[in-house]
Structure 1
Amino acid sequence: MLRKKYYTALMALILFFNITAASASAEPVEEARELIKEYYVEELPDWVLAKPSIKEMVRYLDQYSVYMSAEEFADFTNAIEQQLVGIGVVLEESESGIRIMSVLPEGSAAAAGLKPGDILVMADGTSLSGESVQTAISLISGKENTSVTLTYINSETGSLHTISVPRKVIQLPNVEARMLGGNIGYIRLNSFAMNASKDIASAIQKLGPANGWIFDITNNGGGYVSAAQETAGFFPGVTKAFQLRYKGNQAQVYHAIRQQVGFTSPVHILINENSASASEMVSASVKEQKGAIFYGQNTYGKGSMQSLFTLSDQSVLKLTTAKFFSPKGSPVHEIGVAPDIETAAGDELFISHRDQLVSGLKGYRKLPMLKDVPVTKTFTVKMNAGMQWSGLKNGDVQLIKLGGSEVVIEVEITDEKTIKIIPQKLLDSKGKYMLIIHPNWKGKNDRKMNQGIFLEVTVK
């Protein structure tokens, strides 16, 4: 598996169920014709059904109906399940070739001894100097159980080596989870794969109790309808999953499948223009039932559902068999789901995390933002009156990177009115932070602080 920097996989489709054709003796074209006639969501003219091949019939259906060979179907399902074939590296361009940014532990590149920082200079005899990551991927990728010969510069010794690395199927993690600063749980779902709900539940349990949750489905192109139905059941107050309308406009509302664990308020969902299909099923449902606040941009606008039909020769017909709506009937197709709070692309997590933090600072005073501070910034806080700084405890002053974790700081007492807050490592260039001072200590007059303060910080 090869991934470009900031790689995302877009699968703008939904799967519902798998039906095997009843008669294995019939020719696949006749099987397909009957399935299209019976299950395709729109009525079709006879001249479409009279076409002599499956591909010719499918050509006149919608863009999401596809005829696949058994091999193409295997690739298709592997993509949904986050299974890719390759050597297991993340790459970026460099002057002398293609630099390895990271190596997946389970990949064949790791087993061959390749390490982050190594520079790939040739792939199967073709120079990679001056080439793009896309070109490198096309040269290094290939079929499972084949090999690619790589020449690389060792990052530690500078010496040149040539090795043969086998390509194999690699399972990418479908759920990414971490605890953000301020005890805000963050879970990203990359695909509505078959085990998506189990992975989400495991992440919720692993992170433990949180002050708020952020569920990220940006760039999530969809997956299985059953996974969407289960995922809706994690959100507070959400009891219905979606409405499906089949051939003849027959409508049926499906209930969300309640999970044993779930998100606790406040909950935010991150969406963008590449959030499609099953992502939009969940978004339309949760938004309508007020189970979360949405941040980001309008979603893709794919409101149709596909079903899988396996033909007698093991080829597969993916057919649009229904259109989906919110439980109350709001359309999604070519409309999408709008966020409650629109953000610039790429800022969804920063703004959501900031708002999660601010929601826990009721009564605190917001100070003016500090813009474009240096990465070496030391913060000076001067109070109006003398303070009993000896009562200062860990956690009374926090510096939190938005979208990230809490920064380790040292608090230095300058005088009875002034403290300095010193980050123990350089701030991230272009990073965004929040400085919070909680009202947990007293002044010289034994009076407790009236209110806490907070301010936002951006770094050059």
Structure 2
Amino acid sequence: MKSKIHITKNELRIDRTYPKSYKSFSIFTVLFFLAFFISSFSLNVQAAESSALLNEARSIIKENYVTPVSDSVLNVSSIADMVKGLNDPYSQYFSQKEGKDFINSIDNKMYGIGIYMEMVEEGVKVTEVIEGSPAENIGILKGDIVVSADGQSLAGLDSTKAASYIKGEEGTSVTLKVKRGDSFLNFSVRRRAINIPTVTAKMLNGNTAYIDITSFGEDTGELFTQKLEELRMKNPDNYIIDLRNNGGGYMLTAMDIAGNFIGENPAITIEDRDGQKTRYLAADKGSTIDKPIIFLINQYTASASEILSAAVKDYKKAIFVGTTTYGKGVAQQMFPLSDGSILKLTVENFYSPMGNTIQKVGVSPDFEVKEENNVDSLAVAELFSGKSRNNVDKRGFVKVNVGGSDYEIDLNLAKDENHWAAFKYIISKASKDSVYIGTENSWVKAPADYFDNTYKFLYGKYKSLDTLKDVPENKMFTITLNKSVNVDTIKDNAGIEIINAETGERAAFEVKAVDDKKISLTPKENLTKGQTYYIKIKDTIKPFTVKN
């Protein structure tokens, strides 16, 4: 270990590297020493053990909890009441099995059949089947509805209760009655361990490296390094790191990953129960990511996720898109008891490397995208990741300044229905003086009327016909052309789109010939009431009028 610098008692201590024996990082070491209750003891011995167990828990809480604990809390008659008296949502008392389940959840490890689900009226709807899982191997499909498990109806249950009938110990089996369409099928599925990677990665739009971290588990640092190296080989222009809905995990893992962004610099400030503060360094990775980075965060980004986020933000190594994180700035340690049960106790506070508070404050975004706006923050980040390939010709791009940085938005990407709403949202939040349209030779300030009609950014060269107003939901549109056209030549509706102005969703429709110069467009489903729609027709089709 490299040398440490310790200042005075009341000042900040700076450690030159993080010690792997440090207690908040020792969860796996502690778990190796779990003891098992011996059920063959007599009742009198069990009673004595129970008293000893209470004293054991009392001593651990008194000596390790982050703040002094009063005698009125310590002297209650059960461990559960003792923990409850701490009035701390993060301190818990686990049975041996509950503790094991908790650790498994951090590592994205579960025991069951391998499905994602949502509750519907008839039972459990399978929303996704995990690749290579028992459910996939036995033939269960996405969209199936599990109506019962071992004869227990799942209709009307909440998701936790329903899942308890499907999950179970490794090696056991469950019989499922499944509705598929109008048929009912029976499956016997043998449960086993399901390991879902905590890190997944892919390239987006040919130029953006996307890494999603769902939890900070034991092997997450190794997985992140592996995925990062794979993506680096593809020479991305930028990176998106997704921490949305990541509830945390191991502090050491977050500090390990932080080294990829901030190098071997302080990554966290720890304050122990005596008020003494220490800063610990991130892992030395040899190099850091040297391309633009966007972090995605939301209100469910918590704990270890906030350690990584706060460190990256302190050093201004990325911009943050989404909503303010959860605000959990306290760390817990697992303490095994002699009967195999476990105390999870808050033992210290933590802050950003520069000392910024996280507890009940969180990490705020540079560009806020609230979920209630029905805008996907990933879509926003993808648009911010655009890059024109020509130093002079900027056609097909819009430049927007956010937080003092310029972003070039690819309009071809902005036009698709997955990014349309995100583009509208960016434009609505941007200062009109900071938005520019790309031209053949440079950037020009966007005209004021573009901000009232966002489609002008996307289809600036299209001629706008009279607006269609008060259109019924089942409207059939008639288009009159200025020359004869063979409807068969408009294959797969090429060149024509009916677009929801708010969402960018394309409405499916049928094209029919009315006469040699007229065609009709009939949406296959009713349009959304109260929404504005655009009918886009390529100039190669030469429209003349659209009849309302």
TM class, shorter-chain normalised?
0.7 to 0.9
Confirm or deny: 8 A CA contact 1:204 1:261 kept in the other structure.
Answer: no
Instruction: Give the counterpart of 2:384 among 344, 355, 364.
Output: 355
Cα distance in 1 between the residues matched to 2:390 and 2:269: 39
Q: Which amino acid in structure 2 is aligned with residue 161 of structure 1?
A: L
Cα distance in 2 between the residues matched to 1:23 and 1:92: 36
Q: Which amino acid in structure 2 is aligned with residue 347 of structure 1?
A: D
The 1:456–1:315 alpha-carbon spacing in structure 2 relative to 1, beyond 3 Å, is farther
Unaligned 5+ segments in structure 2 are 1-22, 36-48, 400-409, 424-438, 445-455, 460-502, 506-548
Flag the structure with higher strand content: 1
Instruction: State the partner residue of 1:185.
Output: 209
Aligned length in residues: 381
Instruction: Give the counterpart of 2:62 among 37, 49, 60.
Output: 37
Deviations 1:182-203 (CA, angstroms, capped at 9, x unpaired): 4110000000111111111111
Instruction: Give the counterpart of 2:334 among 285, 296, 308.
Output: 308
What pairs up with 1:186-205 in 2 under 5 angstroms? Answer: 186-205=210-229
Unaligned 5+ segments in structure 1 are 1-13, 370-396, 403-426, 435-447
1:339, CA displacement in angstroms?
Answer: 0.8
Cα distance in 1 between the residues matched to 2:25 and 2:183: 53
Deviations 1:375-427 (CA, angstroms, capped at 9, x unpaired): xxxxxxxxxxxxxxxxxxxxxx994379xxxxxxxxxxxxxxxxxxxxxxxx6
Confirm or deny: 8 A CA contact 1:83 1:171 kept in the other structure.
Answer: yes
Q: Which piece of structure 1 moves more, 44-53 or 60-69?
A: 44-53
> Tell me, what secondary structure is at the counterpart of 2:441?
coil
Confirm or deny: 8 A CA contact 2:122 2:156 kept in the other structure.
Answer: yes
Give RMSD over aligned pairs. 3.5
Q: Which amino acid in structure 2 is aligned with residue 125 of structure 1?
A: G
Cα distance in 2 between the residues matched to 1:234 and 1:57: 41
Instruction: State the partner residue of 1:16.
Output: 25
Instruction: State the partner residue of 2:130.
Output: 104
The 1:329–1:97 alpha-carbon spacing in structure 2 relative to 1, beyond 3 Å, is closer
Cα distance in 2 between the residues matched to 1:116 and 1:49: 50
What pairs up with 1:215-364 in 2 under 5 angstroms? Answer: 215-236=241-262, 239-260=265-286, 262-345=288-371, 347-358=376-387, 364=394
Cα distance in 1 between the residues matched to 2:122 and 2:81: 48
The TM-score normalised by the length of structure 2 is 0.62
Confirm or deny: 8 A CA contact 2:411 2:458 kept in the other structure.
Answer: no
Q: Which amino acid in structure 2 is aligned with residue 400 of structure 1?
A: L
1:258, CA displacement in angstroms?
Answer: 2.1
The 1:92–1:335 alpha-carbon spacing in structure 2 relative to 1, beyond 3 Å, is closer
Deviations 1:70-128 (CA, angstroms, capped at 9, x unpaired): 11110100100101122112345678765534322321112222233444444333556
The 1:39–1:101 alpha-carbon spacing in structure 2 relative to 1, beyond 3 Å, is closer
Instruction: State the partner residue of 2:76.
Output: 51
Q: Which piece of structure 1 moves more, 448-457 or 348-357?
A: 448-457
Q: Which amino acid in structure 2 is aligned with residue 194 of structure 1?
A: E
Cα distance in 2 between the residues matched to 1:246 and 1:360: 51
Instruction: State the partner residue of 2:538.
Output: none
Deviations 1:226-276 (CA, angstroms, capped at 9, x unpaired): 001101111145721100000111100000112246422201111100001
Q: Which piece of structure 1 moves more, 41-50 or 450-459?
A: 450-459
Q: Which piece of structure 1 moves more, 353-362 or 278-287?
A: 353-362
Instruction: State the partner residue of 2:441.
Output: 450
The 1:64–1:135 alpha-carbon spacing in structure 2 relative to 1, beyond 3 Å, is closer
1:43, CA displacement in angstroms?
Answer: 1.5
The 1:91–1:450 alpha-carbon spacing in structure 2 relative to 1, beyond 3 Å, is same
Confirm or deny: 8 A CA contact 1:237 1:289 kept in the other structure.
Answer: no
Confirm or deny: 8 A CA contact 2:238 2:385 kept in the other structure.
Answer: yes
Instruction: State the partner residue of 1:76.
Output: 102
1:314, CA displacement in angstroms?
Answer: 2.1
1:291, CA displacement in angstroms?
Answer: 1.4
1:178, CA displacement in angstroms?
Answer: 0.8
